[in-house]
Structure 1
């Protein structure tokens, strides 16, 4: 079959799972690479630059969370979908904080997995090449092109999702951005009602920008509507 959809790296220590995913993805027109551990995953990502990674969270040695963070060092914009048996909401929030673009809980329906893969690839391909010009004042310096944040002279660190969220807010500076718009922009349409995820990430951003509960200088809340930078 001619590959037209892109190349997917499947990372799972369970060979039967890899075989099933390989067959499914090839049937849908994707090229497939396979890795059974973190070392192989990182090597294949560096050498082949796949279009998306399907990453199982429960693996021996380095688990999926560690691997996800390492993948971000190799390719910050690489779409990553976590495969997880965990159903706890806080664990799901943690997957996004680790840098994943999406997650899907096992067992999953094939149609749902393919739909999420295509949505993640579509978002990656539609991402603007030119970023926001950034933001600068006496306390904060934000450079989206260089992915650099400085707060009161001290370098800060943001996850890929935090960068994308902050970029959307700064791009629409002084304008209310709805919760649904932010969720869809950062995580996709399937997550546009996951307000709890957004609240957690906004809280993390505020902390990293130096905002406090008593003095919110940068990110303001419009109750049950959205946020304003």
Structure 2
């Protein structure tokens, strides 16, 4: 299986050129011309590595990086900056990027850095820190499987993602809008009550008594919180 790379770059000429070079290097490449489109592609395609330009129309690369990092810890992110200023580099790394390159850059060097990043990601996948544990629950981030008392849970992709976000934010109140952005995407168009529907379904699968939940607690006027004593 080819490694999947998402290019989020608004300049058509750069995006298409990098796409061509990476395809020749054996990567499966997806393209997005804006931060908003890029976030949608992340949720749909689950890329291994993202090439992310800082200067994007709408949401800039720093914000895109922060949003991705809140949801995905195992996607590699290489940021591109045209200015080459230390402020951009530091800002990119602080927002969660793994590496950066300054335009203009050698596309073969970019390919080499992607391969180096992929090797680091694969090494970290073997780390037991890729398990999330809370009470009787365990989430294996590598296999995308959730367990209760070591019994595998049957969750939809959205329910799994919702549970993962809750356990990554134990005892922290998360608003419905925040959950909507993280699980359904920044540009989700639809009824925001979808959050409540999925929380109710998740409770039915996780709680011993869904009508009196011990784990997914309602925070009135805000949203929900994963409760851990």
Per the TM superposition, whether the score is higher than 0.5 is: yes
Contact 1:46/1:74 (8 A) holds in 2: no
1:63 matched residue in structure 2:
60
Residue correspondence of structure 1 range 205-224 to structure 2 within 5 A: none
What do the CA deviations read for 1:88-109 (whole angstroms, capped 9, x no partner)?
A: 2233122100110000000011
Q: How far, CA to CA, are the matches of 2:72 and 2:26 in structure 1?
A: 24
Partner residue in 2 for 1:212 = none
Q: Find the counterpart in structure 2 of residue 130 from structure 1.
A: 128
Supply the distance in 2 between the matched residues of 1:132 and 1:67 (Cα, whole angstroms): 23
Q: TM-score, normalised to structure 2's length?
A: 0.55
Q: Post-superposition shift, 1:39?
A: 1.7
SS at match of 1:13: coil
**TM-score, scaled to structure 1:** 0.55
Q: Structure 2: how far apart are the matches of 1:92 and 1:100?
A: 9
Give CA deviations for 1:44-78 in whole Å, capped at 9, x if unaligned.
11011011100010011111000001111231221
1:16: Cα distance to partner?
Answer: 1.2
Distance in 2, Cα, partners of 1:113 & 1:67? 20
TM alignment of 1:17-56, pairs within 5 A: 17-56=14-53
Report the aligned-residue RMSD.
Answer: 2.5
- 1:14 corresponding residue in structure 2: 11
- Tell me the distance in 1 between the aligned counterparts of 2:46 and 2:130: 26
Moved more, 95-104 or 124-133: 124-133
Give SS of 2:92's match.
helix
Does the CA-based 8 Å contact 1:14-1:36 persist in structure 2? yes
Residue 119 of structure 1: how far off its partner (Å): 0.6
Cα distance change on mapping 1:132 and 1:114 into 2, 3 Å: closer
Mapped partners of 1:21, 1:52: distance in 2: 14
Match of 1:81 in 2: 78
Which of structure 1's runs of 4+ aligned residues deviate more than 6 A?
none
Aligned length: 139
Distance 2:112 2:2 in 1: 12
**CA distance, structure 2, for counterparts of residue 65 and residue 58 of structure 1:** 9
Please say if 1:90 is aligned against 2:87. Answer: yes
List runs of 5+ in structure 1 lacking aligned partners. Answer: 134-144, 156-229
